[in-house]
Amino acid sequence: MGSLRPAVFAWAAFAVAASAAPLSDEARDRFQERGYHVAPGLLKDEAPALIQEMQRLMDEASAEDAADWSDGGDAPSSYSVSYQPDAATGAPIAGRIFKLQAVATRSRVMKERTILNEKLVAVAEQLLGVAADEAMDAFGTKFFPLLPAENETTSTSTSFHDDTHFFGTASDRVLSMSLYLEDTDVENGCLRVVPGSHAAYGDGVRREGRYARGTGAAAHGEWLELEADERAVDVVVPAGTPVFFDGRLIHGARHNVSPERSSFRIIAHFVPADLPMAWRGVDFGRGYADRYEVKAPALVGALTSEL
């Protein structure tokens, strides 16, 4: 239990739920320095309905939906289901859902209560520094259930990486968001981040050279190993908490080793509408099916009176 003490201590920081009020200068400065921002309990009221909706989608998952995001083609923008890789072989474990990709294309409830939710959008808009006359989009929605451990099989979502690697951009204007629908700590698979690693990204060339295809339980993607000066910290959160982070920030997730608790989470990414992004033949622009305008540009200038 000694390893769980930091997580228990961390709960004290989340006693008061966040609001969609303007972020303080201090909060914005911390985000710029650390590369991530936690909004404790911001969507706690929405969490129960979202859990129910995600469970419905898992119950309805079919073999026809099975696909791998890394297959390329249309797979990244269309709804698909993938299954947990076996730790020994890397092969999918039948029936053990690992991820629902492009989940907003299948669920209006998810879309309306997360990426179109004005509380969530307001925080994203401030952290991304979107101007009044700029439009902002959300894209790349996905759901990871991190099911309870069973027969020595644990669950996870990702190993260490930065999101810009998968979007083909070195831009500092990609804001990722992970919404935790259940209380999440070190036992059931909390987020891990390397504070400040976004600032060390540079042009991304050296970072890109560190990626390698994963094996075993990490066979679903390509990841990087942390270097000696990269120290990851655990982000322990209560249900309904979104964590926002710079797309260049190195992050990953712990395995869920709890035999009793899951850790449902929904992921999305926010960008200015005019940011070009493409990766290995996939264009993430406005023709991408799993992309949505969440903030329209405001009208600039005043209307003149008719004489």
Spatial contact of 111 and 101, defined as CB atoms under 8 Å apart: no
Q: Which two tokens stand for residue 285?
A: 């622009």
Question: Could you tell me the pLDDT band of residue 157, with boundaries at 50, 70 and 90?
Answer: confident
Q: Which two tokens stand for residue 182?
A: 């259940």
For residue 304, tell me if it sits in a domain.
Answer: no
Measure CA of the first residue to CA of the last residue in the chain; give whole Å: 76
Q: Which residues 6+ apart lie within 8 Å of 27 measured at CB?
A: 37
Q: Which two tokens stand for residue 157?
A: 């979502």
- Pick from 120, 97, 104, 111: nearest CA to 41: 120
Look at residue 16 and tell me whether its pLDDT is greater than 60.
no
Please report the pLDDT score of residue 62 as a whole number.
80
For the chain, what is the mean pLDDT?
A: 88
Please report the pLDDT score of residue 2 as a whole number.
38
- Looking at residues 269-293, what average pLDDT do you find? 94
Count of domains observed in the chain? 1
Please report the pLDDT score of residue 92 as a whole number.
87
* CATH number of the domain where residue 261 is located: 2.60.120.620
- Looking at residues 283-301, what average pLDDT do you find? 89
Please report the pLDDT score of residue 300 as a whole number.
56
Question: What domain range includes position 241?
Answer: 2-12+24-295
> Does residue 58 sit in helix, strand or coil?
helix
Please report the pLDDT score of residue 128 as a whole number.
96
The structure tokens 């309805």 sit at 60
Give CA torsion, residues 249, 253, 254, 256, to 10 deg: 170
Please report the pLDDT score of residue 219 as a whole number.
84
For residue 197, tell me if it sits in a domain.
Answer: yes
Taking only the tens place, the pLDDT of each residue in 176-210 is 999 999 999 999 999 999 999 999 999 999 999 99
Question: Could you tell me the pLDDT band of residue 285, with boundaries at 50, 70 and 90?
Answer: very high
Give the whole-number percent of the chain exceeding pLDDT 70: 87
Please report the pLDDT score of residue 298 as a whole number.
86
Please report the pLDDT score of residue 301 as a whole number.
56
Please report the pLDDT score of residue 250 as a whole number.
98
Pairing of strands 92-101, 136-144: antiparallel
Look at residue 144 and tell me whether its pLDDT is greater than 80.
yes
Spatial contact of 244 and 205, defined as CB atoms under 8 Å apart: no
Taking only the tens place, the pLDDT of each residue in 205-250 is 999 999 999 888 888 889 999 999 999 999 999 999 999 999 999 9
Look at residue 19 and tell me whether its pLDDT is greater than 50.
no
For residue 63, tell me if it sits in a domain.
Answer: yes
Look at residue 306 and tell me whether its pLDDT is greater than 80.
no
Look at residue 74 and tell me whether its pLDDT is greater than 70.
no
Rounded to whole angstroms, the Cα distance separating 208 from 265 reads 27
Taking only the tens place, the pLDDT of each residue in 84-142 is 888 888 888 888 999 999 999 999 999 999 999 999 999 999 999 999 999 999 999 99
Neighbours of 214 (CB within 10 A): 17
Taking only the tens place, the pLDDT of each residue in 52-66 is 999 999 999 886 777
Q: Angle 159-117-236 (CA atoms, 0-180°, nearest 5)? A: 35
Question: Could you tell me the pLDDT band of residue 6, with boundaries at 50, 70 and 90?
Answer: very low
Rounded to whole angstroms, the Cα distance separating 176 from 164 reads 10
For residue 306, tell me if it sits in a domain.
Answer: no
State pTM to two decimals. Answer: 0.89
